[in-house]
Structure 1
Amino acid sequence: MRRMAMDDILTAAVVNFHPVSGEKERNLSRIEGFARAGARRGAELILFPELCLMGYDYYLDPEIPRAEKLDSAEHMGSPAAERLSALAREMGIYLICGAAERRGEALYNSAFLFGPEGKVETYQKIHPYGEENRFFQKGDTPVLIDTPWGPVGIGICYDSYQFPELMRYEVSRGARLYLNPTAEVEEIAYEGSRESFYRYYRRNLEYGAASNGIFIASANLTGWDRGSYFAGGSMILGPKLSPFAELDVHCYAGGAEDAQEGLALATLDLSLAARMLVRENPGGGMDYRPEVYKTFY
Structure 2
Amino acid sequence: MTTPLRIALGQMTSAGTHDANVAAMRDLAARAKAAGADMLCLPEVAGLMQRDGEKARAQVVEAARDPFIAACREAAAEHALWLQPGSTPVLGPDGRFLNHATMIGPDGALVAEYDKIHLFDVAIEGEKPIGESRRFAPGERGVVVDTPWGAMGMTICYDLRFPQLFRAEAQAGARLILVPSAFTVPTGRAHWEVLLRARAIENGAWIVAAAQAGTHEDGRETWGHSLVVSPWGRVVCDMGDAAGLELVEIDLAEADKAREQIPSLSNDRPFTIDRAPR
Instruction: Flag whether TM exceeds 0.5 (same fold).
Output: yes
Give yes or no for the alignment of 1:235 onto 2:227: yes
Q: Sequence identity of aligned pairs in percent?
A: 27
- 1:66 is displaced (CA, Å) by 6.8
Give yes or no for the alignment of 1:114 onto 2:96: no
- 1:37 is displaced (CA, Å) by 0.3
Residues 91 and 74 from structure 1, CA distance in 2 versus in 1: closer, same or farther, beyond 3 angstroms?
farther
- 1:152 is displaced (CA, Å) by 0.5
Counterpart-to-counterpart distance in 2, 1:158 and 1:106? 18
Match of 2:127 in 1: none
Match of 1:220 in 2: 211
Out of 116, 121, 125, the position equivalent to 1:125 is 116
- 1:286 is displaced (CA, Å) by 3.0
Q: Summarize deviations over 1:185-241 as a string: whole Å, max 9, x none.
A: 114xxxxxxxx63440000001111111111110111111223211110121103xx
Would you say how many aligned residue pairs link Structure 1 and Structure 2? 259
State the TM-score, normalized to the length of structure 1.
0.80
Q: Tell me if the contact between 2:60 and 2:66 (Cα under 8 Å) persists in the aligned partners.
A: no
Give yes or no for the alignment of 1:24 onto 2:21: no
Aligned-residue Cα RMSD (Å) equals: 2.4
- 1:117 is displaced (CA, Å) by 3.0
Match of 1:276 in 2: 259
Match of 1:78 in 2: 66
Residues 220 and 73 from structure 1, CA distance in 2 versus in 1: closer, same or farther, beyond 3 angstroms?
farther
Residues 50 and 73 from structure 1, CA distance in 2 versus in 1: closer, same or farther, beyond 3 angstroms?
farther
- 1:27 is displaced (CA, Å) by 1.1
SS of corresponding position for 1:181: coil
SS of corresponding position for 1:252: strand
Residues 146 and 117 from structure 1, CA distance in 2 versus in 1: closer, same or farther, beyond 3 angstroms?
farther
Match of 1:266 in 2: 248
Q: Summarize deviations over 1:21-69 as a string: whole Å, max 9, x none.
A: 2x211110111101110121111111111112111xx1x434x26742x
Residues 229 and 280 from structure 1, CA distance in 2 versus in 1: closer, same or farther, beyond 3 angstroms?
closer
Match of 2:276 in 1: none
Q: Tell me if the contact between 1:99 and 1:112 (Cα under 8 Å) persists in the aligned partners.
A: no
Structure 1 runs not aligned, ≥5 long? 1-5, 188-195, 240-247
Counterpart-to-counterpart distance in 2, 1:279 and 1:185? 33
Give yes or no for the alignment of 1:99 onto 2:88: yes
